[in-house]
Copies of this chain bind each other. A is one copy, B any other.
């Protein structure tokens, strides 16, 4: 207007004029093409190509009440996620799965309380049609607030909170993954199997420990509290846990570790203690993160299907946005046998 240099973008009006039809017909072609004659549709498409028309999403959103976008929301301990290469796979997978539906992804990070409030306001104001939530800790207030406001939410990973039963989520089968790994160690003849569990306020930590206990019980082996150490998913923690386990049980012949990072720390501790892996002690990790291959020996681990998880999260979210009440999705893990066990 006041700026003559700025080119006016073509509107649906221009397309209608060029095609020799009305706005309504162009709109119908844009959204599904029902109740439009082939001739009109062809004329409209040609006009769209000729004018280079692109729909104005703001105008559309204003009338439909939908934004046509979704948020990828990260809450709480961001550092852990940002250091985890698997997180990148998840983020990329979600971005591309949404892009296939022409839905842009908004990345939001809720660190401080202020940021959380700001994001909740933004989302509940309807600026986003749904939320892909990543938050491993229990009792996330953001999830509850969004759910209360009626915003479609799909979480990554099983929520701890039993009250959050209605929260849709997509997760790998941690328990079965742990079971498979421990069965694998047993079938290799290991009998004194210790575990380094994850934090017990995370569902992954709980379920992987549960799987470990179950398989030992099924194999008729006694469960010993002293064979369990609990770490923080980090490398240093894994190392310390392994040192304590070795001090208590020098005769341990296998270690099931709830994360690859902790497993790497455990490998260092085993090396320092003069144990050979896997001859003296077998080690099984969890995650199949890049840490599993970071150095020799390559880690035997449990792979979580992050690419499929992201695809399913998007699918479930779109279902929920469309009003369908898709329930939780649990995906199988995969045992990856490498050199440590």
Contacts and interface: CB of A to CB of B under 8 A. Distances in A.
Interface string A159-189: 0000000000000000000000000000000
Given A59-B62, A62-B56, A107 B122 contact: no
Contact of A83 (B59, B61, B62, B85): B85
Contacts of A125: 9, 54-56
List of 6 A-B pairs having minimum Cβ-Cβ separation, nearest first: A54-B125, A58-B61, A82-B88, A58-B58, A58-B62, A104-B106
B58 A67 contact: yes
A290 interface: yes
A105 B107 contact: yes
Given A82-B89, A82-B92, A92-B82, A54 B104 contact: no
Give chain A's interface residue range (CB within 8 Å of chain B).
35 or more
A57 interface: yes
Interface in A36-75: 54-59, 61-62, 67, 69, 72
A178 to B, nearest CB: 26
A298 interface: no
B122 A104 contact: yes
Contacts of A105: 106-107
Nearest to A291: B294
B107 A72 contact: yes
Given A82-B88, A294-B294, 10 more contacts: A54-B124, A57-B58, A58-B61, A59-B62, A72-B107, A87-B88, A88-B88, A99-B115, A105-B106, A106-B106
